[in-house]
Chain A
Amino acid sequence: MKLLHLLAASGLILAFPSPDRTSFVGGREHGGESITVDLPPSEHLRNRGGRDGAGMCVMTSIEMAARWQGLDAMRGLRDWCAQQAGGAWPAKVDRQLLAYCRERNLPLPPYLQYEGSEPEKILALCERTGRLACVTYGYSPRYGRPIAHMINCVKFGDHWAVGLDNNFPGDGNYEWMTPAEFLRRIKHPGGSAWLFIWLAPPPPPVPHN
């Protein structure tokens, strides 16, 4: 007990910056850089609860990624899943996607899930190829304490990483931070990230001659 008091007295608590300035909320552009995945706000989804009130952040992120990558047959996936209990983990996602596609007589679109401590390679590939990754998110100053959440990664560049949080959808609500900080948050608190990525291609670039 004395040790606890001593650590507090020695300034341990004060050693952590407050308020948290490790990220900021902004628009689609900052410092001459733009987000890579520019899903229109009309296509953003706000998180909701499942049948038991538990959150649906996983399927909310997954449906937004589907919308970005032209998988329009997956529109309504989140609300379909919300008829069941909320909360999700990788195996449950597999089960629910399969059930949704079977019920609608759709082919199951290819997708990748990754769990581990080195998600940066996959995120860099998503950045290069324009795909919208769904990532776990364990901390944000918006909440002031640890969270169990999934959001979309709309940019993972050399200087900036940007998250689109389905609890704060809409233009101007993007959360900008360094890639190192982003990686820290998506692995927080257990040191292991969970990623979901549709393999379908992103929309075509704007045409020009």
Chain B
Amino acid sequence: MSPLLTMALILCADCLDGQCKPSPSSPKIEWRSRPDDPDRAYLFVDGVQAGGYDRARDEWRPFVADAWGAPTALFPSSLAKADESILNFGVVREPLPSDRSRHTLNGKVVTEQEAASAIAGNALTDDSLRLRLTIIGADADRQRVLDDLRSSPELDGWSHQMLVQAYPPDHWAIAGNGFVTTGTPTIYVQAADGKVLHRQDAYRGPKQLAEALRRADPNYRPDKDPDLNLVFPIHLDWRRIPTWLWIVAGLLLISLLRRRNRT
């Protein structure tokens, strides 16, 4: 006998004349639900869980021997009615099956990893700690800086390391938020928490901006700048080696030569 039928018979026992009358012998029927999951209710018979019902999906699942059974629709006709009564405000789609997902970037299907990191500089990766470069000014002034960020060799790579935005002075994101808006343009470099690391009220060209960005970048280490003119990748400034180190090195060399002569 199916659990569903069992439940029905249990419930039918005192309802033969169409009215449910409690009697001393009738089992205690209780529907329980959780506040964080209001669309589901769980049936308990004499304190023992007999199944659960999902209102949204119209799914009854029996719960027997600590295991959930197959789902059964209890009100198929009412579910159809509910579908008809869905208020539609503009979404038309067939939802994917719950075990499938799909990511697209500008309309092209990509993997989850690609969605997160494929397009350098534009990925939805966690870029919340990057420097913020904000350009505020007239259209032509802003565009000059944006063009240089895209194409100037001095600023090559910087636009991918920062979050860049450009606004007219009266834009809601800027006006009234404490930004200076009178520059030609005003350029801000901020840390992620909003701390201003650099501000200039005129654009002096890509070279100066690149220099300011280097100084503002908390991760910038001048000693790690590559010098591609050098044959050896490690750059040593011989003049900066202290005298005592020369003496120690000399003594070591003499000691090594003496040992070699003895052998």
Which of A's residues lie within 8 Å of B, judged by CB?
Answer: 2-7, 9-12, 14-17, 20-22, 40, 42-43, 47, 50, 54-60, 70, 72, 86-92, 94, 97-98, 108, 110-118, 122, 125-126, 128-131, 136, 139, 143, 145-150, 167, 178, 180-181, 184, 188-192, 194, 197, 199, 201-209
Contacts and interface: CB of A to CB of B under 8 A. Distances in A.
Query: Is chain B's binding surface mostly helix, strand, loop or mixed?
Result: loop
Contact of A15 (B33, B127, B163, B194): B33
Given A6-B11, A146-B87, 5 more contacts: A10-B20, A12-B31, A146-B86, A205-B194, A208-B195
Interface string B181-223: 0000000101011111000000000000000000000000000
Contacts of A130: 128
B82 interface: yes
Contact of A129 (B31, B88, B127, B134): B127
Contacts of A115: 95-96, 101-102
11 contacts: A5-B18, A15-B31, A55-B89, A92-B92, A114-B115, A147-B88, A148-B87, A189-B57, A191-B95, A205-B192, A207-B188
B86 A128 contact: no
Given A16-B41, A115-B101, A9 B89 contact: no
B87 A147 contact: yes
B160 interface: no
A5 B14 CA distance: 13
Interface of B: 8, 11-12, 15, 18, 20, 29-33, 35-39, 41, 43, 53, 55-57, 74-75, 82, 85-107, 115-116, 119, 122-128, 132, 134, 163-167, 171-174, 177-179, 188, 190, 192-196
A6 B15 contact: yes
A80 to B, nearest CB: 15
Contact of B165 (A15, A184, A204): A204
A92 B90 CA distance: 12
Given A17-B38, A57-B89, A148-B88, A118 B101 contact: yes
A92 B194 CA distance: 38
A102 to B, nearest CB: 13
Contacts of B74: 3-4, 7
Nearest to A117: B98
A146 B107 CA distance: 28
Contacts of B88: 54-55, 87, 147-149
B190 A167 contact: no
B195 A209 contact: yes
Contact of B178 (A20, A118, A129, A206): A206
B105 A110 contact: yes
Contacts of A143: 87
Contact of A42 (B29, B53, B172, B193): B172
B194 A208 contact: yes
Contacts of B30: 11
A147 B86 contact: yes
Contacts of A15: 31-33, 41
Contact of A204 (B32, B89, B173): B173
B193 A148 contact: no
B178 A47 contact: no
Contacts of A22: 35, 38
Top 9 A-B pairs, shortest CB-CB distance: A116-B101, A55-B90, A190-B95, A205-B194, A94-B107, A15-B31, A201-B163, A203-B173, A192-B95
Contacts of A147: 86-89
Contacts of A42: 172
A144 to B, nearest CB: 9
A20 B36 CA distance: 11
A92 to B, nearest CB: 8
A207 B196 contact: yes
Nearest to A94: B107
A88 B91 contact: yes
Nearest to B29: A10
Contacts of A2: 8, 12, 15
A116 B96 contact: yes
A201 B130 CA distance: 11
